[in-house]
């Protein structure tokens, strides 16, 4: 269960670097130098790190400071072999973004937000990132009177069109990934779920360059099935990146270690990612508990990877178990891949066919989902 580069585990600098302040409490840990984070994560077996501009370079820093920070960071990357698969922008911490970035009611803020993103895209490209994440945590409202949502979506689209054109014009090998979240810090956030973001993306000029970075906890904060959401994102070719963590249902954003929330859903998620064609980073976006010191921080980083690997092993055993294959067949899970109409069949043919279909008889048949579900539980528990 020792992670290797091949596992493609990555971490946001802001995860291990979180100083553990929360809405009711001060920081419990000192600031962490990104250089140290890169080295420690490399030692633990990680493959990549991601960053917000402000994680690396203090907001408003002068050019000398900026270059110094970037140089030190590059050096750490070079020394460790850690890659930067993804970068993103902090459009939520400074008071200027209190009503949003791309969709602030204040046009001057929207312009500033765009400039901030553009600048960091250049850095992302320079550092080799192929995914640029946009979490619009401040794009939203607390009162429906205060935000014209349709105008806001116009501006959101305008921003995405500008950004996609920008990477095209500069020949950057970068795709964008929107990260949905239903609420917190805003009362209601625009594009609150995987679905709303998918709908929005379909309206963009270069929608082929825009996909998703769904986060386990964000979708579960809306009580939604994350595995279903990821399935739809994959189905629409839009799973560009993923944020793995844990959450215990609708409440504040917990950012627990992966698997430390809904463990069964984590099992099915790993099963889907490993067997469903996703080949992007396994990226952890979590917060080490505020009760921990720096040892706990590194223990938590390791725990994320170890849990993933354990679940991967469990999922492989599940898929390989003949009893599971039999149960899948009995439940007709594979039959769902068969088109409902036969090749060349017309509606008229369909209506004429199956004259002897007996709804009562078919309705009485059992699907055996209980057996399948219990097999999954037992595999998750390592009991088969």
Active site residues: 52, 55
Order of strands across the sheet that contains 210-212 = 210-212, 175-179, 131-135, 83-88, 48-52, 9-12, 282-284, 243-244
> Could you say whether residue 244 binds a second copy (CB under 8 A)?
no
> Could you say whether residue 149 binds a second copy (CB under 8 A)?
yes
Stretch that binds a second copy, among 39-47, 64-72, 171-179, 251-259 (CB under 8 A): 251-259
> Could you say whether residue 61 binds a second copy (CB under 8 A)?
no
Nearer to a second copy, 85 or 246 (CB): 246
Stretch that binds a second copy, among 2-10, 62-70, 74-82, 360-368 (CB under 8 A): 360-368
> Could you say whether residue 182 binds a second copy (CB under 8 A)?
yes
> Could you say whether residue 279 binds a second copy (CB under 8 A)?
no
Least Å from the CB of residue 25 to a second copy: 5
DSSP three-state, residue 249: coil
Which one of residues 234, 316, 317, 323 is an interface residue with a second copy (CB under 8 A)? 234
- Tell me the CA end-to-end span of the chain in Å, nearest whole number: 19
Which one of residues 82, 174, 227, 244 is an interface residue with a second copy (CB under 8 A)? 227
Nearer to a second copy, 78 or 122 (CB): 122
> Could you say whether residue 215 binds a second copy (CB under 8 A)?
no
> Could you say whether residue 141 binds a second copy (CB under 8 A)?
yes
Q: Collect all residues with Cβ–Cβ distance below 8 Å to 316 and sequence separation of at least 6.
A: 274
For residue 336, the tally of other CB atoms under 10 A from its CB is 8
Least Å from the CB of residue 3 to a second copy: 14
Least Å from the CB of residue 355 to a second copy: 11
Q: What's the CA gap between 52 and 55, in Å, rounded?
A: 5
Nearer to a second copy, 72 or 196 (CB): 196
What 190-197 contacts at long range (C-beta under 8 Å, 24+ apart), as own/partner pairs, is 190/103, 190/136, 190/139, 190/140, 190/149, 190/152, 190/153, 190/156, 191/136, 191/139, 191/156, 192/222, 193/219, 193/222, 193/224, 193/229, 194/219, 194/224, 194/229, 194/230, 194/232, 194/233, 195/229, 195/232
Which one of residues 2, 4, 203, 325 is an interface residue with a second copy (CB under 8 A)? 203
Q: Are 188 and 106 in contact (CB under 8 A)?
A: no
Which one of residues 31, 64, 108, 322 is an interface residue with a second copy (CB under 8 A)? 108
């Amino acid at each position: 269960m020792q992670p290797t580069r091949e596992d493609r585990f990555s971490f946001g600098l802001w995860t291990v670097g979180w100083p553990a302040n929360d809405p009711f409490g001060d920081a419990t840990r000192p600031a962490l130098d990104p250089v140290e984070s890169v080295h420690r994560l490399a030692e633990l077996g990680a493959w990549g790190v991601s960053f917000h501009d402000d994680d690396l370079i203090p907001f408003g820093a002068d050019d000398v400071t900026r270059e110094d920070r970037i140089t030190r960071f590059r050096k750490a990357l070079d020394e460790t072999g850690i890659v930067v698969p993804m970068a993103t922008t902090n459009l939520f911490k400074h008071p200027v973004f209190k009503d949003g970035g791309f969709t602030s009611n204040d046009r001057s803020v929207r312009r500033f937000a765009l400039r901030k993103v553009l600048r960091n895209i250049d850095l992302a490209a320079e550092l080799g990132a192929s995914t640029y994440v946009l979490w619009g945590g401040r794009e939203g409202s607390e009162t429906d009177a205060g935000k014209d949502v349709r105008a806001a979506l116009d501006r959101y689209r305008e921003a995405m069109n500008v950004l996609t054109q920008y990477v095209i014009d500069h020949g950057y090998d970068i795709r964008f990934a929107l990260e949905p979240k239903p609420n917190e810090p805003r009362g209601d956030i625009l594009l609150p779920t995987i679905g709303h973001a998918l709908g929005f993306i379909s309206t963009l000029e270069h929608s082929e360059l825009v996909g998703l970075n769904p986060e386990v906890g964000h979708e579960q904060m809306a009580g939604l099935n994350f595995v279903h959401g990821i399935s739809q994102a994959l189905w629409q070719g839009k799973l560009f990146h993923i944020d793995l963590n844990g959450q215990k249902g609708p409440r504040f954003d917990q950012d627990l270690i992966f698997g430390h929330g809904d463990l069964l859903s984590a099992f099915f998620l790993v099963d889907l990612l490993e067997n469903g064609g996703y080949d992007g980073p396994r990226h952890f976006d979590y917060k080490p508990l505020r009760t921990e010191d720096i040892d706990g921080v590194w223990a938590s980083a390791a725990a994320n990877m170890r849990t993933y690997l354990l679940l991967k092993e469990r999922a492989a055993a599940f898929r390989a178990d003949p009893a599971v294959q039999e149960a899948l067949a009995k439940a007709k899970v594979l039959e769902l891949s068969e088109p409902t109409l036969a090749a060349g069949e017309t509606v008229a043919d369909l209506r004429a066919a199956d004259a002897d279909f007996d709804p009562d008889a078919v309705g009485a048949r059992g699907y055996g989902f209980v057996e399948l579900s219990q097999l999954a539980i037992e595999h998750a528990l390592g009991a088969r």
